[in-house]
Amino acid sequence: MENEALREISIQELRRCDGSSRKNPVYIAYKGLVYDVTTSSFWRTGLHRDLHWAGQDLTDEIADAPHTELVFHKFPIVGRLKI
């Protein structure tokens, strides 16, 4: 899917996808793209490694992570973060 074809996801919608309800998917944003991490056991509760909350833009936090941005390639891109 090309980035141009992605739907826009508002910050409010992203925040609702925080893992607090099993009815909603678990999303995170990185560099303007929104990823669905619902299937990841690391995001099951909406809190990743007691450090990062789902439903947020994690762009500024990747520098402190023990992994690179390549970890996001495992997950589907569901939209573009609307700024």
At 51-72, the pLDDT tens digits run 678 889 989 877 766 667 888 8
pLDDT for residue 33 is more than 90: yes
Domain of 43, in residue numbers: 3-81
The confidence score (pLDDT) of residue 50 equals 62
CATH of the domain at 27: 3.10.120.10
Residue 34 φ then ψ, to 5°: -110, 125
The confidence score (pLDDT) of residue 71 equals 84
- Tokens representing 76 are 């589907």
Amino acid (1-letter code) at residue 82: K
Q: How many domains does the chain have?
A: 1
Determine how many CB atoms are found less than 10 A away from the CB of residue 81: 20
The confidence score (pLDDT) of residue 1 equals 46
Residue 18 φ then ψ, to 5°: -110, 5
